[in-house]
Amino acid sequence: MNFFTDNDDLQFHFQQGVAWDRFVPLWEEGFRFEDGPRALGEAREIYDETLREVGQYAAREIAPHAREIDEQGVGFVDGLVIHPPALLRNIEGLKKLGVMGVNLPRDLGGSNFPMTAGTFMAEVLSRACTNTFLFYVFHQAPAVPIARFGTREQRERWVPRLASGEISGSVAMTEPDAGSDVGNVSTTAVPEDGHWRITGRKQFITNGCGDVSVVLARTEPGSKGLEGLSLLVAPRMENGRDNFRVAKPEKKMVIRGSATCELSFEGSCAELLGPRGAGFSEILTFMNEARIAVAIQGLGIAEAAWRAARAYAERRVQMGRPIARHEMVADMLLDMETEVAALRALVYRCVQLQDRILGLERGKSANARELAALKRALRDRTPLLKWFGSERTLWVTRTAVQVHGGYGVVQDYDVERHYRDALILPIYEGTSQIQALMSLKDQARWAMERPWRLLTGAVSVEAPADVLGDGVRDLAAEYNRALRYVVRRRGPELAFARLHAERLTAMLAYTRAAEALAAQASASARHRRLAERFVTRALPLVRMQGDVIRSGDLSTLESLQS
């Protein structure tokens, strides 16, 4: 019972798939720290030992209580948010393991693990109980911008307490009238006697009841749009009294054990975090990292749902044989396995890019050209990863319910909960449609910077020189053909392209997932089989999306003009 060691694909990525030597020496600054590993091999041993401990704890202690946490939900008594007792016990266990701040700097109480090592842990936790994963994340997540942008005093005051699990926090960006439209933020902050006073409302804030909140507010009077925004740090309590009000948590059908709160700031005391007016660039960094985290959350849920469906299908007998031996069910199970493997390949490709970037920036001696190329590659893939990790996890969990038949909608079976929890993935941290618009904007801009790219292909892929590689290149060609078509269409502000933004994103997401999966095809016969199946199944889907785009149907745009 160990959610790290029982997963062969996860073990492959840890042992062979991840190029640790590309970023661990950068994170450890040449292994110069006396309280850190002295070589790459020792660092990997530390990661492995930690992940084995967490994997065992997740399987034996966290997973058995996941349904209980979902049923208990979040309470609200006398103005206080009450977390499910089983959830708090899970966190206490993780505290005892000393893993609450694994990705935070060692000098601030963390373990200085690279993001990739933390991703293995996050996937394991999300598979066991996604509510526990979320509460765990929001001990570490608010510490990241504080460690990155804060003063020395702010870092030392907040980050060690978050890293140890003594306190938790939130990042408050969303408002009732400003969800994905960050430029419409109306919460304001004004300076007063060396501090700042925040006034406004925030909505849908995960763990908004935490002990500290990183708040996005407008600090420049008269500013509009993305200008004039800043990040501030606001403690939950100030001088023994509430510094901001936490309204009753939302009653949700998804992630019931996670507190989603509305916050009211009425002259709340806060400190500026980072340069004044730099809030948008700072929060954008956090948002992109959060979108990767959502895909990791989806990966854990998808893994759990696929395993539950396979186990049920192997023991459920119909017409004289297990339903896993019936052709259509076997087809669904293999498609689920393939989708999960593709998502995992794309996740670990992205977090390795992230680690290389962070490591190079830490050393402050990076080759500017390499750093720009890495950032471009990560920016290209982040909205695709968020889209794929959300939409395809939703498909995997829905299929798991179908495999269970009538039992799939009964709460005694976990797949019902997995499906409900997956419903939030395409919504928070930027909807799937927002990811599509982001991807379209970037791809169109990169193509138009050098218009000849539209002819040669705006997107290129790295793929083996064989039949499998030909399939990956065919996927890229289909996307390039569709992008060329929408960019050339005349219309106000690329309206036709925006209409098909999600279709284009689906095409490119399948292409990048296929690229990542094909890169590991030579590792084993199983990896080759999964990569070939994914490409074979993806190519007709991508062609279909391209056919819809190139049909030139304008009925939706015409309806908007009527």
Give the residue numbers marked as catalytic. 429
Distance CA 18, CA 523 (A): 13
Nearest C-alpha neighbor of 303 from the set 418, 147, 221, 403 = 418
Distance CA 326, CA 471 (A): 29
144 contacts 104 by C-beta, under 8 angstroms: yes
Q: What are phi and psi of 224, to 5 degrees?
A: -135, 160
Nearest C-alpha neighbor of 285 from the set 378, 356, 207 = 378
In the three-class reduction of DSSP (H, G, I as helix; E, B as strand; rest coil), residue 384 is classed as helix
Alpha helices in 73-114, H assignment, sequence order: 85-97
**Residue 306 burial by CB count (10 A; 0-12/13-18/19+): exposed, middle or buried?**
buried
Name the one residue in this structure whose structure tokens are 């510094």.
Answer: 243
Distance CA 87, CA 165 (A): 14
327-363 vs 525-550: helix axis angle to the nearest 10?
Answer: 90
Name the one residue in this structure whose structure tokens are 């994905």.
Answer: 180
Q: Which residues, 6+ apart, have CB-to-CB distance to 452 below 8 Å?
A: none
For the chain, the farthest-separated pair of C-alpha atoms sits apart, in whole angstroms, at 78
9 contacts 341 by C-beta, under 8 angstroms: yes
Name the one residue in this structure whose structure tokens are 């998808």.
Answer: 302
Joined together, the tokens standing for residue 100 give: 């609450």
CA quadruple 318, 324, 327, 330: dihedral sign: positive
Name the one residue in this structure whose structure tokens are 């990705």.
Answer: 103
Distance CA 360, CA 374 (A): 10
Burial track 7-42 (b if 16+ CB lie within 10 A, e otherwise): bebbebbbeebbebeebbbbbbeeeeeeebbeeeee
Distance CA 423, CA 444 (A): 30
Output DSSP code: residue 214.
E
3-state DSSP percent of the chain in helix, strand and coil, to 5: 60, 10, 25
Residue type, 19: A
